[in-house]
Amino acid sequence: MSGTQIGFIMFGILMVLLVVRIPIGIAMFTVGAGGYYYLTGGELQPVLASLKNLAYARLSNYDLVVIPLFLLMGQFATHGGLSSALFRCVSAFIGHMRGGIAMAAIGACAGFGAICGSSLATAATMGQVALPELRRFKYSGSLATGALAAGGTLGIMIPPSVPLVIYAILTQESIGKLFMAAVVPGLIAMSGYMIVVKILTTINPAAGPAGPRVPWSERIRSLLLVTPVLIVFLVVIVGIYGGWTNPTEAAAIGAAACGILAVTTGGMRWKGIIESAVGTAQATAMIFLVLLGADMLNTGLAVSQMPTELATWVQNCGLSPLLVMIMILLIYIFLGCVMDSLAMILLTIPIFYPIVMGLDFWGMAAADKSIWFGILALMVVEIGLVHPPVGMNVYIINRLAKDVPLKETFKGVIPFLMSDFVRIALLLFFPIISLYLVHTFQP
């Protein structure tokens, strides 16, 4: 049997394990270790020996430490009430427009995303803050929950973003450049969602009534309350990109700043700190178990040579690069039907990345291609968080909105998905959208 065949068999077994609800990290680990054992001639010694270092190598990785730090930053922001300050601020400015409260929720999601690396946390936090308001102003259930579920994805599309960190580490790409590249596409995503709300409420004004107009003095006051958020964001993103601090230090500064803000202005006390610590622990463990499993799986796949052989095959089979890219994006959307975004990145990047890097897209330089593909992959795995049947954000928001049937929420998300597809197409044909800032502020 060729290595590639074994690689495909490994994937087959992995799918079976996933179907029967084995935790994704454990399933990846089992298949990786099994494949490795088989490929090294059925000897236990090599696999046992490589396991000696697996956990320490992964868990002491300096770059990966940014993940718990970004999660801690988000926890502090949540427990310090920064989410409601953001929401109050944005709705003070645009709440009086038709559909304005839903747009404000999306804007606040983007703001929260700027200091939080996770989409689930953004959806859950902003859901708790904005849903009661949306219901108070008699927004339709599908618009309210749809906007929040989609808005939650801004948590990963606006940097900092955990999937981008993972992508950077898998591809030895610069975290700072990837974060910088995600800024404009993230803002386009936010605007796209707001436009969707505008269109929906123009068609059906009853779905999203206007809120009260807020006097300017009040607007300025609410703006002052959230400026620290902007400062934290700038410190983190500019600090990393400018090379003033490394990502881990920047994440630590961001977490410290959010923690101090939460204690001084948000009234966070010991209880909040403890809840933040435990919340970080849970979300981090969830991610790192998948990372441990992916490590073993990638080793197994590397030994099988399947990724390299597949990349060579794609390069030689004469398909147009654009077609290959579209196929890759479709595979992501398909995988997103059943899989978590992080697991998707970990599973597919080792395979797709060599393929993409071996193809020519409009003569783009390798360094640019690598960043552009990272942002494209981020956008397309993010869709999996909201599209049926298992969009995680949809479940989180739907659980918060007890009176809205799940079907309504999924229906509410569809228009936002449309804007996602438009944005992905834009980014596919105009890579400059992601590369503009990276080129302009070349360090």
Partner 1 sequence: MSEEREERLSYDPFTTSDAFGPLGNFLLKVSRFFALTGGLIFVALVLMSLVSVVGRKLFSFAVPGDVEMLQMCSAFALSSFFAYCHLIHGDIKVDFFTHNMAPHRVAFLDAFGSLMVGLFAVLIAWRTGAGAMSLKEAGETSAILAWPVWIPQALMVPGFILMALAGFYMCGHMLRLAIWRTQ
Partner 2 sequence: PDVVTLKVAHFLPTSSNFHQLVLLPWCDKIAKESGGGLKCQIYPSMQLGGTPAQLLDQVRDGVADIIWTVPTYQAGRFTKSEVFELPFMVKSAEKGSQAMWDYVHKNAMDEYKGVRLLFTHMHDGSQMHFGKKTVKTLEDLKGLKLRAPTRIGSKTLAALGAVPVQMPAPAVPESISKSVVDGASIPWEVTTAFKLQEICKTHTEVAPHHAKHSNAIFVFAMNPAKYNSLPAGLKKVIDNNSGLEASKWVGKTFDSFTTTARKIAVDRHNTFNVLTDAEYSRWVKATEAVDDEWMKEVAAKGGNGKALLNDAKALLKKYND
Query: Do the Cβ atoms of 13 and 26 come closer than 8 Å?
Result: no
Q: Is residue 57 a contact point for partner 2 (CB under 8 A)?
A: yes
Out of 343, 355, 371, 375, the only residue in the binding site for partner 1 (CB under 8 A) is 343
Cis status, amide bond into 160, omega within 30 of 0 = yes
Question: Residue 24: which of Na ion, partner 1, partner 2, none does it interact with, CB under 5 to 8 A by kind?
Answer: partner 1
d(CA 410, CA 404): 10
From 9, 54, 238, 359, residue interacting with partner 1 (rule: CB under 8 A): 54
CB 119 → Na ion: shortest distance, Å?
A: 8
- The answer to whether residue 434 forms part of the interface with partner 2 (CB under 8 A) is no
Look at residue 253 and give the partner it binds from partner 2, partner 1, Na ion, none, a contact being a CB closer than 5 to 8 Å depending on partner kind: partner 1
Binding to partner 2 by residue 234, rule CB under 8 A?
Answer: no
CB atoms under 10 Å from CB of 77, counted, come to: 33
Residues 161-190 as x/- pattern, contact with Na ion by CB under 5 A: x-----------------------------
What is the Cα–Cα distance from 134 to 150, expressed in whole angstroms? 15
CB atoms within 10 A of CB 57: 12
Structure tokens at 162: 């955990």
From 391, 412, 415, 431, residue interacting with Na ion (rule: CB under 5 A): 391
338 part of the interface to partner 2, by CB under 8 A: no
Would you give the binding string for partner 2 spanning residues 384-423, x where CB under 8 A is met? ----------------------------------------
Tokens of 347: 């599973």
Q: Which amino acid is at 378?
A: L
Q: Can you tell me the distance from the alpha carbon of 255 to that of 245, in angstroms, rounded to the nearest whole number?
A: 14
242 touching partner 2, by CB under 8 A: yes
Which lies closer to partner 1 via its Cβ, residue 286 or residue 327?
286
Binding flag, residue 151, Na ion (CB under 5 A): no
Tell me if residue 338 falls in helix, strand or coil: coil
Task: Based on the shown chain and the rule CB under 8 A, indicate whether residue 234 belongs to the binding site for partner 1.
Answer: no
Residues 6 or more apart whose CB falls under 8 angstroms from that of 135 comprise 144, 401
Q: Which of Na ion, partner 2, partner 1, none does residue 305 bind (CB under 5 to 8 Å by kind)?
A: partner 2
3-state secondary structure of 389: coil
**Cβ within 8 Å of residue 394, ≥6 positions away:** 145, 149, 385, 386, 388, 406, 409, 410, 413
- Interface residue with partner 1 among 161, 245, 298, 299 (CB under 8 A) is 245
In terms of CB distance, is 224 or 337 closer to Na ion?
337
Of the candidate spans 87-95, 151-159, 317-325, 435-443, the one that interacts with Na ion by CB under 5 A turns out to be 151-159
Q: How far is the CB of 305 from partner 1 (least distance, A)?
A: 25
Which residue blocks in 81-215 are alpha helix, DSSP H?
82-94, 100-113, 119-136, 141-152, 154-157, 162-171, 175-203
List Cα–Cα distances, 294 to 20, 55, 306, 349, 425, in angstroms. 18, 12, 15, 11, 29
Q: How far is Cα 172 from Cα 166, in angstroms, rounded to an integer?
A: 10
Q: Per-residue x/- marks for partner 2, 277-316, CB under 8 A?
A: ------------------xx-xx--xx-x-----------
- Does 370 bind partner 2 (CB under 8 A)? Our answer is no
Binding mask 243-272 for partner 2 (x = CB under 8 A): xx-x--------------------------
DSSP string, 204-241: -GGGS-------HHHHHHHHHHHHHHHHHHHHHHHHHH
Residue 225: CA atoms inside 13 Å, Cβ hemisphere, count?
22
Binding site for partner 2 (CB under 8 A): 43, 45-46, 49-50, 52-54, 57, 172, 174, 176, 242-244, 246, 295-296, 298-299, 302-303, 305, 443
Binding site for Na ion (CB under 5 A): 113, 158, 160-161, 336, 384, 390-391
Binding site for partner 1 (CB under 8 A): 18-26, 29-30, 48, 51-56, 59-62, 65, 68-69, 72, 120, 124, 244-245, 248-249, 252-253, 255-256, 259, 273-274, 276-286, 288-290, 292, 337-340, 342-343, 389-390, 396
